[in-house]
Amino acid sequence: MKKIALTTLFLSLLILLPDKVLAQNEALFISAAGTPSAPRVPMVWNKYYTNAGITDFCRKLEKAFPGLVSLSSAGKSYQGRDIYVLTISDKKSGNPDHKPGFWIDGNIHSIELQGSEMAMYTAWYLCEMFDQNDFINQLLKDKTFYIAPSINPDGRDYFANIGVPPRSGLIPFDNDRDGLFDEDGPDDLNGDKNISQMRRRNPDGAYKADPKDPRRMIRVEPGEKGEYDLLGMEGIDNDGDGQINEDGPGGYDGNRDWGFNWEPNYVQSGAHKYPFSQPENRAVRDFVSSHRNITAAQSFHNTGGMILRGPSIQNGGAEAYSRSDDAAIEAIGKKGEKILPGYSLLTIWKDLYSVYGGEIDWFHGAMGCFVYSNELWNSYMMFYDRENTDSYEFDKLLLFEDGFIPWQKVNHPVYGEVEVGGFSKMFGRLHPGFMLETDAHRNAAFCLYNAYETPKLEISNLKVTKTEGGLREITASITNTRMIPTHSASNLKFKIDPPVYAFLDGGTVVAGMIVENADLNITSEQKRNPQRIEIPNIAGYQKVDVKWIVKGGSKYTVRVESVKGGRASAQIE
């Protein structure tokens, strides 16, 4: 291990100038367990990255790890920003697009920033640990990660520069149906790049300051005198229609836009015109549709501490989920609960609410992937306690009130003198800096576990037997050594991907068959093209036996190709 680390160090010296500095600093550190000891791309994981920061990271990672990383753009956002995808795999060990793929995206909802950091951390960790850890080495030999840190870059920049954005991207949308688009959004009245709350002094108001922490507004008891009205989000009536903040920027939902079980806006609030109305999602669709090796996927949201699985509507998965798929999804999710303390595995329609046209349903239903959506950060994580989940106390004791904007007087054109304040946009749904790396690592570990369980095909028991008439019988077993099948139930039913193909090269194939029972010689013969036996599915931990009858040849190669299960081959003389 030490030798490898030294070699890495030497290589990085050659590749990158800044690493010279690092190298000099090497003596200053003792490597912690499970952490890159000398990262080629030094990163800080206690803050959030802008689009510029994400782009910079992606480029640096590609440059530092040319043998692992390829950076591409899946397409452009509405405002013309690139949707970057990092393809990470050990390129030496085979074409990345032929290995089982794992997709990760973050930030589909613009306010849900930290999905990007989770995705970036995963990319960074994989690269920096490569050659330092055997598990990661093997994982990148076997698998390919496709990581899109932000699939809503417009919303992200809006957050960074202006304030609290909508959930959506920034296609103009007429929420109040008056013919004007985005004409009355929230306004940053005190110029702090935050959209916080408004309150107004009123002796008849329904709220008062909490005596335990006067920053907090609490409802008054019946008969008790109040102090304040709460007036909602910071903003004015920009269009003079008697309503405040009723038509802000964007205002649809990127996660109600996917082409599976889609319903229109009046059924499913947030839907746009039709599936893939949004260029950001179209970009992801195009990338994923043209990388059918993507077998499993992870989408990052906030908040609530949930590992969400489909189906997202009642009965919506009846035709798409089988019992064995379900068992794999549950098993991986349950392992996730262990990896992510405070997170619970939930089924969307049953435990949360119905979602039509959600991203993970498209991944599962249309693309045949095994997919989760994690709702990052929850109140448990503040004190590692399900009971005490007081944000104000956490902010006071651990953030020293940095997460709160003190109430500040502002003149409001409609309400008169109001006060603007409350939790800042950086606290409530987003991890505080010091907790970001911890959760990024745990979520990365969950992704790695899920990716590990994507199929791995191995050929064994390869045998040649001479039979009558100078023919030879060649038998082999093809085993999927992991939990996820090569084909999900919907993949099988709707033939989303080709079957697993087992080829025999060498000699002339006279007949080919799947052996159902070797002892009783029960086989199913494939009449057409027997040289390429079609195996509909190899379930998790299952084995399929194949047999060819061959004329001539002396050296035989069995090749297995599966779109989602990867490739394998074995030779025999």
Partner 1 sequence: MNVFLRFSILALMCCFLSVSTGAQGRYGDHRVMTRTVEALAKEYPSLCSVKPLGKSAGGKELVVITIGTGDRDNKPGIAVLGGIEGSHVLGRELAAGFAGYLLKNSGSPEIQNLLGKITFYVIPDVSPDASGQFFSDLKYERNVNDTPVDDDRDFVTNEDPLEDLNNDGLITLMRVSDPAGKYMKSPDDERIMVEADFSKGETGSYLVFPEGIDNDGDGLFNEDGPGGVNFNRNLTYNYEAFGAGAGAHPVSEPESIAVLDFLFDHFNIYATMAFGPQDNLSQPAKPAGGRQAAAQPAEQGYIPGGQGQFQFPGAFPMQGPPPGPQSMRMMTGQARKITSVLSQDETIIKLVSEKYRNITGVNGSPAATLPPGNFMEWSYYHYGRYSFSTPAWWFPAEPGKNPGVAFLKFAEENNMENVFVPWTEIKHPGFPGKKVEVGGIKPFVTINPPEDRLQDLIEKNSRFIVEMAAMHPELQFLDMKVENQGENIFRISLKVHNKGIFATCAAAGERNVFTRLMRISVETNGKQKFLSGQKVQTIKRLEGGESAEYSWLIMGKGTVKITAGAVNTGIITTTAELK
Q: Work out how close the CB of 470 gets to partner 1 at its nearest, in angstroms, rounded to a whole number.
A: 28
- First-to-last CA distance in the chain? 37
Q: Work out how close the CB of 177 gets to partner 1 at its nearest, in angstroms, rounded to a whole number.
A: 4
Q: Please select the residue that binds partner 1; options are 8, 51, 107, 175, rule is CB under 8 A.
A: 175
Q: How far apart are CA 172 and CA 410, in angstroms?
A: 29
Does 265 bind partner 1 (CB under 8 A)? Our answer is: yes
Class of residue 390 by CB neighbours under 10 A (exposed 0-12, middle 13-18, buried 19+): middle
Q: How many residues bind partner 1 (CB under 8 A)?
A: 37
The β-bridge relationship of strands 197-201 and 416-423 is antiparallel
Closest CA relative to residue 431, chosen from 125, 47, 156: 47
Among 7-15, 65-73, 130-138, 177-185, the segment contacting partner 1 (CB under 8 A): 177-185
Q: Work out how close the CB of 366 gets to partner 1 at its nearest, in angstroms, rounded to a whole number.
A: 6
Residues β-bridged to residue 127: none
Among 2-10, 386-394, 490-498, 549-557, the segment contacting partner 1 (CB under 8 A): 490-498
Residues 6+ apart with CB under 8 A from 18: 42
Nearer residue to partner 1 within complex by CB, 115 or 250: 250
Among 32-40, 235-243, 453-461, 502-510, the segment contacting partner 1 (CB under 8 A): 235-243
Q: Hey, how many other C-beta atoms are within 10 angstroms of the C-beta on 527? A: 8
Does 537 bind partner 1 (CB under 8 A)? Our answer is: no
Nearer residue to partner 1 within complex by CB, 99 or 292: 292
Q: How far apart are CA 220 and CA 230, in angstroms?
A: 12
Beta strand extents in 319-393 (DSSP E only): 344-347, 370-376
Among 168-176, 387-395, 429-437, 472-480, the segment contacting partner 1 (CB under 8 A): 168-176
Does 30 bind partner 1 (CB under 8 A)? Our answer is: no
Residue 300: which H helix or E strand, with range?
strand 294-302
Does 266 bind partner 1 (CB under 8 A)? Our answer is: yes
Q: Please select the residue that binds partner 1; options are 259, 279, 428, 536, rule is CB under 8 A.
A: 259
Residues 6+ apart with CB under 8 A from 436: 45, 46, 47, 48, 114, 117
Buried b (16+ CB within 10 A) or exposed e, 222-236: eeeebbbbebebbbb
Buried b (16+ CB within 10 A) or exposed e, 198-209: bbbeeeebebbe
Nearer residue to partner 1 within complex by CB, 132 or 347: 347
Among 79-87, 106-114, 271-279, 470-478, the segment contacting partner 1 (CB under 8 A): 271-279
Does 275 bind partner 1 (CB under 8 A)? Our answer is: yes
Q: Please select the residue that binds partner 1; options are 176, 213, 326, 473, rule is CB under 8 A.
A: 176
CB 341 within 8 A of CB 441: no
Does 7 bind partner 1 (CB under 8 A)? Our answer is: no
Distance of CA 571 to the CA centre of its chain: 38
Q: Which two tokens stand for residue 206?
A: 């329904």
Does 351 bind partner 1 (CB under 8 A)? Our answer is: no
Q: Which two tokens stand for residue 482?
A: 């992991």
Q: How far apart are CA 167 and CA 152, in angstroms?
A: 10
Question: What 3-state class would DSSP assign to 549?
Answer: strand
Q: How far apart are CA 312 and CA 320, in angstroms?
A: 12
Does 524 bind partner 1 (CB under 8 A)? Our answer is: no
Q: Please select the residue that binds partner 1; options are 52, 267, 414, 518, rule is CB under 8 A.
A: 267
Class of residue 3 by CB neighbours under 10 A (exposed 0-12, middle 13-18, buried 19+): exposed
Taking CB under 8 A as the rule, which mask of x and - marks residues 354-383 in contact with partner 1? x-------x--xx-----------------
Nearer residue to partner 1 within complex by CB, 24 or 315: 315
Nearer residue to partner 1 within complex by CB, 178 or 393: 178
Does 495 bind partner 1 (CB under 8 A)? Our answer is: yes
Q: Please select the residue that binds partner 1; options are 18, 214, 232, 240, rule is CB under 8 A.
A: 240
CB 433 within 8 A of CB 426: no
State the SS3 of 456-493: CEEEEEEEEEECHHHEEEEEEEEEECCCCCCCCHHHHH
Taking CB under 8 A as the rule, which mask of x and - marks residues 281-320 in contact with partner 1? --------x-----------------------xxxx-xx-
CB 254 within 8 A of CB 168: yes
Q: Please select the residue that binds partner 1; options are 276, 300, 423, 452, rule is CB under 8 A.
A: 276
Nearer residue to partner 1 within complex by CB, 316 or 432: 316
Does 262 bind partner 1 (CB under 8 A)? Our answer is: yes
Q: Work out how close the CB of 281 gets to partner 1 at its nearest, in angstroms, rounded to a whole number.
A: 11
Q: Work out how close the CB of 277 gets to partner 1 at its nearest, in angstroms, rounded to a whole number.
A: 8
Q: Work out how close the CB of 74 gets to partner 1 at its nearest, in angstroms, rounded to a whole number.
A: 17
Nearer residue to partner 1 within complex by CB, 266 or 400: 266
Does 264 bind partner 1 (CB under 8 A)? Our answer is: yes
Q: Which of residues 89-148 bind partner 1 (CB under 8 A)?
A: none
Residue ranges binding partner 1 (CB under 8 A): 174-179, 240-242, 259-267, 273-276, 289, 313-316, 318-319, 354, 362, 365-366, 494-495, 498, 528
